[in-house]
Amino acid sequence: MDKTEADELGTYRAVHLTARPIDALLTDVELLIVGLPAAPDTTDEVTARLDDALKNTLVQLRDAGLFLGRFGETLVLDRLPPPYMACSLLVVGMGEISRLDAPAMGILSELAMRSALKLGRCAVGYMVKPPMLNPLPDNVALISREVMAGVLRAIEAHPAIMRCAVLEWIVDDYHVHSEIAKAAMRRELAEWKG
């Protein structure tokens, strides 16, 4: 099991937000959320590893036109087989990579949180990330704030459907500007007016 220590981001209503590196296979959560672009992304090692354990299911479904990875499209795969520790997978379509900007990443995180709330999942790993080969610190901060804003918007819009005493929302802590990303998310949460 993945025992990596988490960094506190904060709490909003009954959602506890933390950040830590997530192992797509070993992290024990009820719901793992990943992104799938509309076209193959050779730089995305995370989805590749994850899909490898699923015998390339995601890529094959996309190639066959059954799940295209269009922006905002979602697919839940329930009862994940070993070696997954997670119970189910929510795949969020990211559309065309070249069109993904900070507000778009915020829309995806809002969609993801809304789905997690509707499904009543209490431990969620969020791994949707923009493809950034050379991320600039300012961009990282901007995207991270939008991602947090999206999460907060969803919580605010759906207070009545919270099915857990506390929903543990773990954001994958993956990139070189990790501290900048976490600081930006904390700032968005602190300044959030709803």
Partner 1 sequence: MQVVGEADDGAGAIAEYARLRPDIVLMDLQMAEIQGLEAISAIRESDPDARIIVLTTYSGDSRAIKALRAGAVGYLLKASLRKQLLDAVRSVHLGGKHLDASVATSIAMHVLDDPLTEREIEVLSLASKGNSNRQVASHLRLSEETVKGHMKSIFSKLDAADRTHAVTIAIKRGLIEI
By CB under 8 A, name the binding residues for partner 1: 54-61, 63-64, 66-67, 73-81, 88-90, 114-115, 118-120
To partner 1, the closest distance from the beta carbon of 115 in angstroms equals 6
Nearer to partner 1, 34 or 189 (CB): 34
To partner 1, the closest distance from the beta carbon of 76 in angstroms equals 5
Nearer to partner 1, 44 or 51 (CB): 51
CB 186 within 8 A of CB 180: no
To partner 1, the closest distance from the beta carbon of 118 in angstroms equals 5
Nearer to partner 1, 17 or 31 (CB): 31
CB atoms within 10 A of CB 104: 18
Nearer to partner 1, 66 or 190 (CB): 66
**Could you tell me which of 29, 50, 54 has the C-alpha nearest to residue 41?**
50
To partner 1, the closest distance from the beta carbon of 113 in angstroms equals 12
Nearer to partner 1, 33 or 189 (CB): 33
39: amino acid identity, one letter? A
Q: Which residue has the tokens 């590893």?
A: 49
CB 181 within 8 A of CB 144: yes
Q: Are strands 15-20 and 7-12 parallel, antiparallel or unpaired?
A: antiparallel
To partner 1, the closest distance from the beta carbon of 121 in angstroms equals 9
Tokens linked to 47: 């989805």
Q: Note the Cα 167 to chain centre separation in Å.
A: 14
Nearer to partner 1, 39 or 136 (CB): 39
Q: What is the DSSP letter of 24?
A: T
To partner 1, the closest distance from the beta carbon of 74 in angstroms equals 3
Helices 137-157, 102-119: inter-axial angle, 10-degree rounding: 30
Tokens linked to 78: 């329930």
